[in-house]
Amino acid sequence: MNGELLTVSQTATYLKLSEKTVRRLISEKRLQASKLGDRSWRIRSCDIDSYVKSNSNGVDLLNIDEPDTCSCQPTVANVPNENESAPRLISLFSGCGGLDCGFKKAGFNIVFANDFDSDAQSVYSLNLGSIDKRDILTVDENDIPDGDILTAGFPCQPFSNAGNRKGVHDSRGMLYKECLRIIQRKMPKVVVFENVKGLLSTKYIDGRNLADVIESDLSEMSGIGYNVVHKLVNASDYGVPQNRQRVLFVGIRKDIGKTFRFPDAQDKTNLTLRHILPVPENVENNVDWVFSPQALDMISYIPEGGSWKDVPYEHLAPRFQRIRDNMKKYHSPNFYRRFSRDEICGTMTASAQPENCGIIHPTEDRRFTVREVARIQTFPDDFKFITDTPKNITAMYKVIGNAVPVNLAYAIATAIMEQVFSEKDLHNRGEQV
């Protein structure tokens, strides 16, 4: 079956079981499965193969007695590298795996991953291994294995300029505290936080800048604390064909005696859209979310490199006409941006709407496909997404837009590996390699 995702019906046919039996196997956790955006079950072919292999060894998974398990028990990500001595990574708010993909490429061994979003879970498990699916608020620190590094891309919506920016007054705006709770117990050598630019201008409940609060919390932790630096970076400085600004916090435990140095910016020569388009026909997930008729009409008037300002007034939707009538009041927005092939693309957002990101293809009247957006986020072409239904196609734009670009993650991970976990560095500190 070679990496396919099967429905319950297809799985039942393949295993020569009833659909009811397959669902029972899933509910009893004897057959691994994930729910997608349409809330239907999908089963990976490799998990079906594991089931078949177990039966071929004389194990009857339909009747075997197993200890009772609770649905809230964690499913721990364990994706070991060939080098079992590689630094162990704890990943929180993992999303679909952009950050983890970059860190794994740099040589880190993912021992735990967690995310609450079902669409992200499905993509993560398809590519990187199993993932803890619980709300982080319910995850006990003792359920998490020890690790050398902890990464977290806690929710950005409370700080994003695209949202209502409630900051810490949004319940999601305090979820970084859950990261601190786990860090306090595990005390990894390195901590990495990633979030949107808006976090830098967000105030904490006591009026202090939130970025300063995060640094202080990490610095003073557990009597040891971390040497913390943060920086606003542009993903295009690290091999990503996208102008995407994100703030990164990197803390190194104080007893290690180091402070992280961000890597130098890289050459941007080959980062224009011309270098990632077109996508070969044999690459999967090259399908798009169709624009509405109204959007398509507007797009037809926008030239390569243009925007909604190129659309004749009479072809603008009424709400856009009102904005055009008073550009000063609305701060001269630049909606419906169609980046040219010779430009670096703008930020890919989770909404994938033309109003707030460069989602329009340079020369064709359509959205970028799921695979094209994935390329802009620097996911490799063999990283799989789920595009079997229209609902899942729209869900993929969300999970890809929320992801950390793989190349950005790889650049930071490589710098951390060299500065903290290199063989020379470990020997200098008298640790085993």
Domain positions in the chain: 5-56, 88-266+406-428
* Secondary structure (3-state) at 167: helix
> Which residues of the chain are under the pLDDT cut of 50?
2, 38, 57-82, 156-173, 427, 429-430, 432-433
Task: Answer whether 382's CB lies under 8 Å from 392's CB.
Answer: no
pLDDT in tens, 303-314: 999 999 999 999
Catalytic residue among 70, 72, 96, 156: 156
* Secondary structure (3-state) at 281: coil
Task: Answer whether 171's CB lies under 8 Å from 213's CB.
Answer: no
Spatial separation of the C-alpha atoms in residues 192 and 108, rounded to whole Å: 13
Told to judge if 156 belongs to the known catalytic residues of this protein, a careful annotator would answer: yes
CATH code for the domain defined by 5-56: 1.10.1660.10
CATH code for the domain defined by 88-266+406-428: 3.40.50.150
CA distances from 24 to 53, 55, 63, 126, 253 (A): 19, 16, 11, 21, 46
Inter-axis angle of helices 98-105 and 406-420, to 10 degrees? 40
pLDDT in tens, 8-49: 877 887 787 887 788 888 887 788 887 655 457 778 777 887
Spatial separation of the C-alpha atoms in residues 391 and 38, rounded to whole Å: 6
Spatial separation of the C-alpha atoms in residues 236 and 346, rounded to whole Å: 10
pLDDT of residue 261: 98
CA count, 13 A, side-chain hemisphere, 370: 25
Spatial separation of the C-alpha atoms in residues 305 and 286, rounded to whole Å: 23
pLDDT of residue 160: 43
pTM (whole model) above 0.75: yes
pLDDT of residue 154: 81
pLDDT of residue 55: 67
Residue whose C-alpha is closest to residue 168's, from 226, 214, 218? 214
Same fold, 5-56 and 88-266+406-428: no
Spatial separation of the C-alpha atoms in residues 387 and 88, rounded to whole Å: 32
* Secondary structure (3-state) at 385: coil
pLDDT of residue 276: 94
Looking up tokens 């490199």 gives: 305
Token duo for residue 185 = 């117990």
Task: Answer whether 286's CB lies under 8 Å from 279's CB.
Answer: yes
DSSP assignment string, 345-378: B-PPPSS--TTTS--B-SSSSSBPPHHHHHHHTT
Token duo for residue 274 = 């011309």
